[in-house]
Structure 1
């Protein structure tokens, strides 16, 4: 979420989220989705960046299954 480093995305989210949400991975996914909807394409993350962020948020067993399925294909 390199483009969210300045916390501008946080301004669009209710301040209670950080207090009430126990799964920060969900919050990060929501922020990534918000970044993908920016008005100017240059401000949006690339698909490579999106995939990198989403893969980093996946639990280890899911990553192992993904790697296994990739080997089978």
Structure 2
């Protein structure tokens, strides 16, 4: 996987703010690929949340810290 670079006002992995992203795929090692909306998928930890593919999660410093309500 190529290195992640920050190009917007917030970065999924180094921002001071939690960023909403969509879970694209889950991995058995408590990691997920997420899409922050710019098409540049990023791998983050989902160890602290119960997330499923398609869920919107809040990510801070590479860690999902919350999920949006499921419909």
TM-score (norm 1): 0.28
Structure with a larger share of its residues in strand: 2
Compare CA radii of gyration and give the structure with the larger one: 1
